[in-house]
């Protein structure tokens, strides 16, 4: 479906954006892949890695999702938008709350308005497990963003633009990953662990790209797509990244949880199990005339998808293999 289409990635110079752009350029024969971001240095560096001579479909567009006029210019002629731009560092959002709100919430509103006005066909927004029952500002802003994108389907009018969300866990290989911290601390012989009980969902960068592209192909508008992912214990990840090192337990940081949720019990009534993923359905009536539930089954009423009670787990050996591969 991406052949001869124009795809724009906001936050396109981030870890996901670069991996997604490379996947589109090498596998999908798009007409254009537009990298929309605000950092000229990162665009320059990405241009060196993906030179136009080798990838003639790539384009670079400097702009900020806070700037609606710039988005209106960038979205002209675009078929699909992948919205990956966000301020996502939890401590930074806690200390700079208005900046996170401007980018993650008001930026989402600007994306919606520009996409509708410019006739974009499909928009898919990247979310996070931290948006479920949020305890930090980053998660709260992403919850607001998710609500905006789902609700946008109810007022697109004749434009026909459709909006959906993908929600997944921690990404191996992304910038700021704890893997980088553990590998750096390995040199000292000691690593810092917040809490030995802590668990997280885990997804590779390549899998996150595949999941987003699959979801764009399947979306009818209004869904929140949740992949089925393995869980891991943070102490196991530390052992995989820094084998034999002493582990210092320093306590949970502000805004952190012991375990992450991707589907809370309160959303179980709207959730269906579709094999390799869950879909959280919106409550808007427009959705049910579009959605094909074939192959999907409702989850139990008391269902929740938590990293603590997951049925899939990664061992130290599994984690070490995945870290070494990626």
Nearest Cα to 142, choosing from 194, 89, 203, 179? 89
Environment class of 196 (CB within 10 Å of its CB; exposed 0-12, middle 13-18, buried 19+): exposed
Residue 36 near residue 12, CB atoms below 8 Å? yes
Count of residues in the chain: 326
d(CA 134, CA 23) in angstroms, rounded, equals: 32
Environment class of 147 (CB within 10 Å of its CB; exposed 0-12, middle 13-18, buried 19+): middle
Which residues does the annotation mark as catalytic? 130
SS3 content of the chain, % helix, strand, coil (to 5): 40, 20, 35
How far separated are the first and last CA of the chain, in Å rounded? 28
Q: Long-range pairs for 192-195 at CB < 8 Å and ≥24 separation?
A: 192/247, 192/248, 192/250, 193/234, 193/235, 193/238, 193/247, 193/248, 193/249, 193/250, 194/234, 194/249, 194/250, 194/251, 194/252, 194/253, 194/256, 195/234, 195/249, 195/251, 195/252, 195/258
SS3 letters for 273-306? ECCCEEEECCCCHHHHHCCCCCCCEECCCCCCEE
- How does DSSP assign 177-225, residue by residue? -HHHHHHHHGGGTEEEES-TT-EEEEEEHHHHHHHHHHHHHH--SS-EE
């Amino acid at each position: 479906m991406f052949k001869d289409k124009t795809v724009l990635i906001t936050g396109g110079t981030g870890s996901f954006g670069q991996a997604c752009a490379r996947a589109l350029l090498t596998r999908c024969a798009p007409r254009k892949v537009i990298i929309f971001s605000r950092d000229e240095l990162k665009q320059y560096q990405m241009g060196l890695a993906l030179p136009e001579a080798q990838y003639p479909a790539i384009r670079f567009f400097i702009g900020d999702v806070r700037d609606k006029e710039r988005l209106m210019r960038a979205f002209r002629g675009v078929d699909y938008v992948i919205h990956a731009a966000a301020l996502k560092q939890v401590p930074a959002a806690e200390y700079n709350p208005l900046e996170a709100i401007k980018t993650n919430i008001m930026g989402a509103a600007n994306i919606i308005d520009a996409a509708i006005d410019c006739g974009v066909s499909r928009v898919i927004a990247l979310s996070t497990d931290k948006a479920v029952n949020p305890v930090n500002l980053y998660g709260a802003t992403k919850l607001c963003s998710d609500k905006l994108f789902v609700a946008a389907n109810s007022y697109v009018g004749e434009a026909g633009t459709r909006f959906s969300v993908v929600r997944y866990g921690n990404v191996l290989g992304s910038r700021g990953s704890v893997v980088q911290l553990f590998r750096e601390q390995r040199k000292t012989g000691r690593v810092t662990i917040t809490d030995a009980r802590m668990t997280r969902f885990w997804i590779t960068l390549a899998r996150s790209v595949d999941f987003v592209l699959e979801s764009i192909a399947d979306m009818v508008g209004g869904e929140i797509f949740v992949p089925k992912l393995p869980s891991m214990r943070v102490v196991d990840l530390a052992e995989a990244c820094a084998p034999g090192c002493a582990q210092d337990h320093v306590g949970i940081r502000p805004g952190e949880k012991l375990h992450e949720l991707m589907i809370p019990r309160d959303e179980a009534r709207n959730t269906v199990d579709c094999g390799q993923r869950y879909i959280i359905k919106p409550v808007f009536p427009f959705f049910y005339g579009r959605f094909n539930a074939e192959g999907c089954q409702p989850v139990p009423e008391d269902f929740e998808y938590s990293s603590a009670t997951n049925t899939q787990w990664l061992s130290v050996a599994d984690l070490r293999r995945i870290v070494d591969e990626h």
